[in-house]
Amino acid sequence: MQVNDANHSDEDRRLLALGYKPQLSRVLGLFANFSVAFSYLSPMVGIYSLFALGLGTGGPAYVWLTWLPVLGMLFVALIFGELASNYPVAGALYQYSKFSVNGGYGWFVGWFYGIALLVTVASVDTGIVSYVTSLLQNIFGWNLNPNSHFVILIVTVILLGIQTFLNITGAKVMGRVAQFGVYVELIGTIGVAIILGINGFHHGFSYLFTSQGVQNVKTNPLGLNFSGKWLTGSALIAVLAPVYIFYGFESAGDISEETKEAGTMVPRSMRLALLYGGLTSFILTVGLLLAIPVKNGVAATINGGGVTYILGSLPQGIQDILLLLIIIAFFSCGTSVQGAGARLAFSYARDKALPGSNWISKVDPRHKAPVNALIAGTAVTLAFVLLEFLSPKKNVHILFFTYPANTNVLVSLVSFGVSGIYLSFLLTVIGSAIARRRGWVPAGKFTLGKWGWPVTVIALVYLALMFVNIILPTGLTSPRGYFNLDWITFIVMALIAIVGGIYFAVARPDKALKELDTTEAR
């Protein structure tokens, strides 16, 4: 379908050609689009949450593993950028896969991706609680228990309420929150590294090339046994610390319909979010590592609480400011992820591919935002948060696997926040390969040309290998059991697939997508 209406931008004409009427407000420029992607990726949230995992399993040398997922995901970002330029439609991975293969395939990609987004919001917002309680104690003397289910619920509900309100007011506000988050990220990464340097590093640069014996069970601060192997043992676990950080750049595509010159800006934002995310993460990690105390440094840092232990050497006023920055970074990250998830739900519902599609797909006429999709997503996220209250007091043996005692169900579900993302990424790249094999020639403003197949193959290999590394069940007593609850990650993924499969078989949402599959998509 050709559309040449002079009243529409190139992006809107492309949208009409793909079968969609422009409904959202196209108000975001490059920096705002980049900011949403960067805030979702959030180096601060990732490093402050996963530093202990990387240090305890890989030692100081784990910092160099940062560049492996950055490089691997850069190839993925090139594929996504080409798809985003060709299909500048809200819903990103769902739409890319739908147009690349068919409606049913795209629906399942979006199903896995959407659940992962909702889980991520729950994970980020509950992860902020300990920092909020610490700041309230320092400022007001309030002694709130960050492990209390009710404290977690109250803080999370307040955060969700504020995030939803801001997102409801439209893409421009969401972009401004994300932009502010970028400035906070720069201060909280590069700024913290500089402050630590001024306060005094305790090691030279050569320290970053040492493992400090973490590959040996006797000197591993977590008591993990890698049989003396670093590259083929501890590094395989340590690399997951940065792996868990470097995604979220694809959210630039989720807001394509609200981005000016999306065919050019979205691919660029994806690449920039990855590259700047990698650089700031590396700088912060280096600063934290060089600031580790000399005596029993790795063990003392792990036992003392990771990043908070290292920052404890700073003056109290600076610590409070850093706590506030961390809270803002978590908040901005959650806001961006929630916004991306709402655009995916809106895109699904507009295709009549969800229950209650007519309601979910409505756009607020004043703010030009998918308000109902935001409300629905918030309700599901809150349901996930309530899983924090479910925690068995003793090991539960189920068929061939064991659910460990004192592990709340939300923690188990959070594992899908990463594995589900990698699965949806892998399926999307496979879909692009299928389309390319069928003769698809990208028609967007950003194309890979003759490099299309080599980049696709490299992206597929990276995603497949890392996906296996993430979900591989090896027992609760293995080093991998420190973060992967044996079969739980795989079982959660299987259950989500089964639930989606049942709904798909009963409701057949793909039938509503067949007509769109035959539009000018390839």
474 has a pLDDT exceeding 50: yes
Average pLDDT, integer, range 438-461: 94
- How many other C-beta atoms can be found within 10 angstroms of the C-beta atom of residue 194? 13
Of 48-57, 413-422, 478-487, the one with minimum mean pLDDT is 478-487
Q: How far apart are CA 318 and CA 192, in angstroms?
A: 10
* Percentage of residues in the chain having pLDDT higher than 70: 96
Residue-range domain boundaries for the chain: 10-517
6 has a pLDDT exceeding 50: no
Average pLDDT, integer, range 450-459: 96
pLDDT of residue 380: 92
* DSSP letter (8 states) at residue 269: H
Using left for φ > 0, alpha for ψ between -120 and 50, and beta otherwise, residue 398 falls in: beta
Q: How far apart are CA 412 and CA 394, in angstroms?
A: 15
The number of residues in the chain equals: 522
514 has a pLDDT exceeding 70: no
Tokens of 397: 């043996």
* Three-state DSSP state, 364: coil
227 has a pLDDT exceeding 60: yes
User: To the nearest whole number, what is the mean pLDDT of the chain?
Assistant: 89
- State whether CATH 3.40.605.10 applies to domain 10-517: no
pLDDT of residue 256: 92
The answer to whether residues 54 and 286 touch, using CB atoms and an 8 Å cutoff, is no
* Three-state DSSP state, 53: helix
- How many other C-beta atoms can be found within 10 angstroms of the C-beta atom of residue 321? 17
Average pLDDT, integer, range 338-358: 92
- What's the pLDDT tens digit per position in 18-40? 888 888 888 889 999 999 999 99
Q: Cα angle at 417 between 327 and 133, to 5 degrees? A: 25
364 has a pLDDT exceeding 70: yes
